[in-house]
Structure 1
Amino acid sequence: MFLLVFLNCFNNSAIGQSEPISEAKTDKLVKQALANFRESNFEKSLIISRVALNAASNIKDPSLISRSYTIIAANYNELGEVDKAIFFYNKSLYYANKTNNDTIKYNLYNNLGNVYCFEKKQFDKGIGYYKKSIAYGLKINDLNQVYFTNVNIAWAYFDINKYDQGDLFLKYINTNNKKYGDKSTDVIVNMLNGMYSSYRKDYEAANEFFLKAIEAGKKTEEKSDLAYAHLEYSKFLNKIDKPREAYKNLTSYNKVTEDLYNEEKLKKASIAGFSLELDEYKRQIDKIENEKVEQYHSLKKSRIIVILFILISLILLFLIITLVKNIRFKKKHNLELLKAKEIAEEASLLKTQFISTISHELRTPLYGVVGITNMLLEEHKELSQSQHLSALKFSARYLLSLVNDILQINKIEENKVVLETLTFNISDEITMIKNSLSFLSQKNNNKINVSIDPNIPEYLIGDKLRLAQILMNLVSNALKFTKDGEVEIIVNLDRIEGKIYFLDFLIKDNGVGIAVVDQGKIFEKFVQVGRKDEDYQGTGLGLSIVKKLLGLFGSTITLVSDIGEGTSFAFIIPFEYDPEKTKNIIEEIEVDLTSNEVFKILIVEDNLINQLVTKKIIEKNNYICKVVDDGFGALRILESEEFDLILMDINMPLMNGFETTKRIRLQGIKTPVVALTAFDKDEITDEAISSGINDIIIKPFEPVKLFKIINYLISEAKNAG
């Protein structure tokens, strides 16, 4: 900025000039000059054009400059100064190309076509200009002007006796005459038809067309067209041997021409034109002088720039030296940062591995605890009222919920959660959530009220599992902190954008509320507000998971709450509504195949308690079941016996489940294999598929889900066989 200001101080010379004429007044002058030209008042037209051109140059308006030059060129063309006309037309074209006004460009190319065809007799060049004019006419969708240019092209071809080529354009003219023709073209169109009829030796039609042309010409102000009509009619009459009538029309041509271009007019116009040329020369001289002044100032600036360049070079040299020192320092610092980054990445990896290992180690005994508890309750109905057994089952499920929450938060932070595309009914999903939380609502004597906007479609497409997880966390939270009250689940249609429906969810309670000072903390991990030592309030991960899951949907959550007034959580999630796509998804859903057949199942499991639990679940469904302790045992028994399905543990000593399955497949055994594991599904899916495992089920599991998978895979295997 300093350099710019410094240099501008040396460029303050200015050329004094009078106040410029406004754009509106200049435009008015241009229109006045054009009106004078059309009245054949060339002197006045040139004088006003000169004033308009100077005004347009002062305000530097390329459109007005171009229009002024066009009128000047047209005047010279009418006065027979063809070369000057071409010079000024080209000047006009130069300024027209600086604008976006395609109408000006259309007119200029049309006028240049007229000059080259009818004055210079360079027809190829002239017709080339005409065709450029038509291109601009089509671009601006001005079909009237396109029609007019076609008239000129036809006339040009007829003028050089190329009637067959001109006939194509004449046909277009005659076809569109009623649509685009007017009084200004009637004279020439009739004249052209007369010329063509004469060429075809249809003399009666030719004579009629010429008479129509002359009659139309007498009614228009454009007397030059009337003159051309008399001239061409004279040629025709001479051709058919009517010399007297031919002479009469030639006399009429001379009279009209004389009226248009009388000597006094031409003299005055010549003087006006000379003054205009002087102005043009003066403009060129002023331009040269201005360039000289600019060169002088430029030279002066150059000296200053050289001095400044030397100073800047010295400053740059100093900066380079400083930069080199900084680079050396940063290089050393970056090595330290890189090392710290590697340590952080290693720590993150260790954290992930630790969480994965801990979750597996916890899920394995939990599977046994939950399974044995269920077995006790089923086999000994008298224990169903036992507080100790209920406490054991509750504690196991609480511990499992904690493990799942920690895994979920870790997966989101590691960007391993991908939203699924499933079709679902929003009313059914919320009803299921309400029913599953009925125990918690009864515990605190709460009511759950549901309100769903009827404008929401029956079936939507999106990740219903993540939505259910969000709602479960928020509604269970509301139920925990509300006693003898109400929890509302309200879903409204916010807006529609194409096939995307934005649903507005509101979870509202009239419980204890959250203080304003605590509202910023509740979405952090392991944070609990208002917890008493004797109360069970969960892990403190629920709201953190909700916030992160909403982030996957591209949404945020808002909170309104106050102590004693209750709490409201609101968020908006977009879902797709596409009946055709929904139909396809529903058709692709795997049908739960039930069977009364007795299947033979092989369990490969090293943990004795888990063996007992899994075997009990399988045999309860009247299936035949055999158990082996490891992979080698599985390979041995498969040599002598056939099974309908294999339940394979993954984490086993000696040989794990992946390697065991690979060896089973290498032996050509196609029996379906289901991984029954405590590992998280996302961690082992790729390796499971590559080893030949057909499906995965995570321990602890719902027996119904296991039997659904068993029935489906066995049915598929039999159909494939």
Structure 2
Amino acid sequence: MLPNRIVLVFVLLSIKTSFLSAQNIKLDRKELVKQSEQATNFYRNQDFEKSLLLSREVLKKALLLKDSILISTSYNIIGSNYSEFSEFDKSIEYYKKALFYANKTLNDSLKFKANNNLANIYCFEKRQYKRGTEYYKKAIFHSKKIPNTTYALMASLNLAWAYFDNFNYDEGLEFLIYSNANFEKYGNETLSVVHQMVNGMYCDHIGDYEKARIFYEKAIELGYEYNELNDVSYAHNEFSKMLFKTGNYKDAYLHLRKFDALKEKIYNEDKLFKASIAGLNVELDEYKRELTKIELIKEAQKQNLNKSKIIVVLFIIVLFVLLMFIFTLIRNNAFKRKVNKELTIANNDLLLAKEKAEEASQMKSQFVSTISHELRTPLYGVIGITNMLIDEYKDLSQSQHLSSLKFSARYLLSLVNDILQINKIEENRVILESMTFNIADEIELIIQSLSFISQNNNNKVELIVDSKIPEYIIGDKLRFSQIIMNLISNALKFTKNGRITITVSLEKNEGAIHHISFAIIDTGVGIAAVDQDKIFDKFVQVGRNDTDYQGTGLGLSIVKRLLHLFGSEISLESELGKGTTFRFTIPFESNMEKTKQLINSIRVDLTNSEIFKVLVVEDNRINQLVTQKIMEKNNYKCTVVDNGIEALKILENETFDIILMDINMPLINGFETTRLIRSKNIDTPVVALTAFDKEEIAEEALSSGMNDIIIKPFDQSKLFKVMTTLIQNVKSVV
């Protein structure tokens, strides 16, 4: 049903005024004006049947009198009633007739009304916002010629609502500002509900939910007070949308129920059916008028041909067709209602399914984040204590058990990182960065880091690099290393007493872009043809026995997704017992000027022999011990506290060069602790030392006043480089 977008039916008052100002007013015209007003009141009270019956009678007499004002008014009321039956095409037809007759007069109120109501249909029912806003602007043009400025206020509110309904808040804001500035002077009870609701929609859009709530509640209160049930139903609906968006599902559901209840009260089926019958009578009148024109033509033919029998037969045929047409209209209307009901149910099912899918995706992301944090925290302790044992007890450094412990911990950390990496890629949270690096050096470093696997399986590794490749290229070094690391690691694990060959060659140049091809060739077990299409899927491990190769089945899946970010694809050639070859091509930039800028922008390690004081805020006892040993081993004076409250107390009496802050702590977390430190005007650099993923906490960390983030378990050289840089920056300012 068409919402009551401040439909301009009360403009009949201006008609009455224009009539009273004329001289020699006929009694029947006065009576017609009163009947038009009564038809309008019936419409406003949702008594559509009486409204249509009365406006139909007024239209008949107005056509006889050839009174364009009354004809336009009657067509406008009929169009408004048809909009309530969801017969929007017919509603537009009658509104256009109202506009046609209004344009024959000098009455700007009538022209304003017809344009305003056409705009309502096109904007809110046809969703043709461009066409609808053109009619609104015509309505505003005519309103400026009317002494009553309420018309301009009404059109502005309607236009703001239309823009907001189309999510075009920037253009709608202009008209909302005008409405707010003029409402106190020109507003009335009829406009008050929509005025409050449109303000609530804008506050909802900008995120000021508390103010939006006040506006919506005021709109609902005024709607019930002034019995504007149609407008208050839409206030309930908009309020429900906001509550649902903010997570208040219970209240959102209650307001949605009130919206449905009001619509059911206004548009009950019995009332609408009776009204639709009255509407058919109006349509029948229109067809009769057309038939009258036909009869005139037939009468002329009768006078010339004197064939009255033919005219009677034609009349019967036309009447039969008309009755069939009316029957078809009734049947189609019933079918349309049934289809609309089925579509509504189907749409609700789709929305519910969509919400469940989004909820499942969010729960998955939260689960992955929580698991990675909970695993990284103890892994930091295991790796740290293992390193401490190796450093402090030299006789244990060659222990096979200790080496196995360290390897297992790092393997578990690699598993956690793989799961987190695949989750990031699936959620489109990976963005390639630009760094300068040497391809050969990077691959050599990876080969050295995998020497343990190579030696265990008695494999030889050979690297062949094309001399045409530039010494330095620009690209995402970290993601490139992940790709090469996974492929070489796979080749080493699935090959025994064999050879792994890595070839790097320049395929072509396109200006500064160098397309570099890579091939990782092994002489290992190979992959069966039947399994080659699925090895890039997550958690797939083909041809593996219980005692065979370690791995999660995520490596090749990550490789394929990372190469997709580079705009590349990976190909596979393999045969059982004869080895496997992976090939891909990545475009890298080579630009010496840009390379020099990137190299110069890299911070140089500023470490010196000065002893710095470090405050470690950490609640985990094992992690306290590990971090303290690492600090003291690197010539830092370390103080450890268990929580944020103790950190604040010690900072009142002591000064530190830097603070290492855990995030997930009892009493108050690391973010809140840092905010309290900054509130005391303490400028000591704060580095978040946490097991949370950096992207998850970066925004809140910076807003709380933290200077940097280091993820546990961490690279010690990276940590000390960050610490030294931050300390030196503070000292240089002082």
Q: TM-score under structure 2 normalisation?
A: 0.54
What is aligned with 2:403? 390
Q: Cα distance 1:321–1:372, how it changes in 2: closer, same or farther (>3 A)?
A: same
How far apart are the structure 1 equivalents of 2:571 and 2:651?
Answer: 58
What is aligned with 1:649? 662
Secondary structure at the counterpart of residue 568 of structure 2: coil
| Structure index of larger Rg | 1
Q: Cα distance 1:670–1:319, how it changes in 2: closer, same or farther (>3 A)?
A: same
Which stretch shows the higher mean deviation, 315-324 or 419-428? Answer: 315-324
What is aligned with 2:571? 558
1:520 corresponds, among 533, 558, 570, to 533
1:82-481 alignment, distance < 5 Å: 325-481=338-494
What is aligned with 2:629? 616
For 1:659, the aligned partner's letter is E
1:692 and 2:673 aligned: no
Secondary structure at the counterpart of residue 692 of structure 2: coil
For 1:374, the aligned partner's letter is N
Secondary structure at the counterpart of residue 643 of structure 1: coil
Secondary structure at the counterpart of residue 564 of structure 1: coil
1:590-601 alignment, distance < 5 Å: 590-601=603-614
What is aligned with 2:180? none
Q: Cα distance 1:313–1:485, how it changes in 2: closer, same or farther (>3 A)?
A: farther
Percent identity over paired residues: 66
Secondary structure at the counterpart of residue 389 of structure 2: helix
TM-superposed CA distance for 1:395, in Å, is 1.7
Secondary structure at the counterpart of residue 385 of structure 1: coil
Q: Cα distance 1:326–1:422, how it changes in 2: closer, same or farther (>3 A)?
A: farther
What is aligned with 2:92? none
**Residues 294-330 of structure 1: CA deviation (Å, up to 9, x unaligned):** xxxxxxxxxxxxxxxx999999999998676444323
**Residues 663-719 of structure 1: CA deviation (Å, up to 9, x unaligned):** 111111111111000000111111111111111111111222211111111111101
How far apart are the structure 1 equivalents of 2:326 and 2:612?
Answer: 89
How far apart are the structure 2 equivalents of 1:416 and 1:689?
Answer: 19
TM-superposed CA distance for 1:387, in Å, is 2.7
1:680 and 2:697 aligned: no
What is aligned with 2:731? 718
What is aligned with 1:671? 684
**Residues 604-644 of structure 1: CA deviation (Å, up to 9, x unaligned):** 00001100000000001121110111001111000000000
2:508 corresponds, among 495, 501, 518, to 495
1:534 and 2:544 aligned: no
How far apart are the structure 2 equivalents of 1:387 and 1:495?
Answer: 48
Contact map agreement 1:531 1:537 (CA 8 A) in 2:
no
Contact map agreement 1:661 1:691 (CA 8 A) in 2:
yes
Contact map agreement 2:527 2:580 (CA 8 A) in 1:
yes
Which stretches in structure 2 are left out of the alignment for 5+ residues?
A: 1-321
Q: Cα distance 1:597–1:333, how it changes in 2: closer, same or farther (>3 A)?
A: same
TM-superposed CA distance for 1:511, in Å, is 0.8
Q: Cα distance 1:323–1:424, how it changes in 2: closer, same or farther (>3 A)?
A: farther
**Residues 39-80 of structure 1: CA deviation (Å, up to 9, x unaligned):** xxxxxxxxxxxxxxxxxxxxxxxxxxxxxxxxxxxxxxxxxx
Q: Cα distance 1:497–1:314, how it changes in 2: closer, same or farther (>3 A)?
A: farther
What is aligned with 1:583? 596
Contact map agreement 2:458 2:498 (CA 8 A) in 1:
yes
How far apart are the structure 2 equivalents of 1:327 and 1:488?
Answer: 66
How far apart are the structure 2 equivalents of 1:695 and 1:630?
Answer: 19
Q: Cα distance 1:320–1:395, how it changes in 2: closer, same or farther (>3 A)?
A: farther
Q: Cα distance 1:503–1:637, how it changes in 2: closer, same or farther (>3 A)?
A: same
CA RMSD, 1 decimal: 2.3
Q: TM-score under structure 1 normalisation?
A: 0.55
TM-superposed CA distance for 1:536, in Å, is 3.5
Secondary structure at the counterpart of residue 682 of structure 2: coil
How far apart are the structure 2 equivalents of 1:509 and 1:392?
Answer: 29
**Residues 25-50 of structure 1: CA deviation (Å, up to 9, x unaligned):** xxxxxxxxxxxxxxxxxxxxxxxxxx
Q: Cα distance 1:325–1:366, how it changes in 2: closer, same or farther (>3 A)?
A: same
TM-superposed CA distance for 1:388, in Å, is 2.4
Which stretch shows the higher mean deviation, 392-401 or 559-568? Answer: 392-401
For 2:516, the aligned partner's letter is L
What is aligned with 2:101? none
For 1:439, the aligned partner's letter is F
For 1:567, the aligned partner's letter is T
How far apart are the structure 2 equivalents of 1:516 and 1:562?
Answer: 7
1:567 and 2:580 aligned: yes
How far apart are the structure 2 equivalents of 1:384 and 1:475?
Answer: 27
How far apart are the structure 2 equivalents of 1:578 and 1:409?
Answer: 31
How far apart are the structure 1 equivalents of 2:327 and 2:526?
Answer: 68
Q: Cα distance 1:327–1:574, how it changes in 2: closer, same or farther (>3 A)?
A: farther
Contact map agreement 2:369 2:693 (CA 8 A) in 1:
yes
1:549 corresponds, among 559, 562, 577, to 562
Which stretches in structure 1 are left out of the alignment for 5+ residues?
A: 1-309
Contact map agreement 2:494 2:549 (CA 8 A) in 1:
no
Q: Cα distance 1:328–1:604, how it changes in 2: closer, same or farther (>3 A)?
A: same
Secondary structure at the counterpart of residue 535 of structure 1: coil
Secondary structure at the counterpart of residue 640 of structure 1: coil
What is aligned with 1:627? 640
How far apart are the structure 2 equivalents of 1:318 and 1:569?
Answer: 66
Between the two proteins, the alignment pairs up a number of residues equal to: 414
Contact map agreement 1:646 1:673 (CA 8 A) in 2:
yes
For 1:502, the aligned partner's letter is H
**Residues 383-433 of structure 1: CA deviation (Å, up to 9, x unaligned):** 223232222222211111111110000011111111001111111111111
What is aligned with 2:130? none
Which stretch shows the higher mean deviation, 671-680 or 375-384? Answer: 375-384
1:511 corresponds, among 519, 524, 541, to 524
TM-superposed CA distance for 1:549, in Å, is 0.7
Secondary structure at the counterpart of residue 508 of structure 1: strand
How far apart are the structure 1 equivalents of 2:461 and 2:521?
Answer: 10
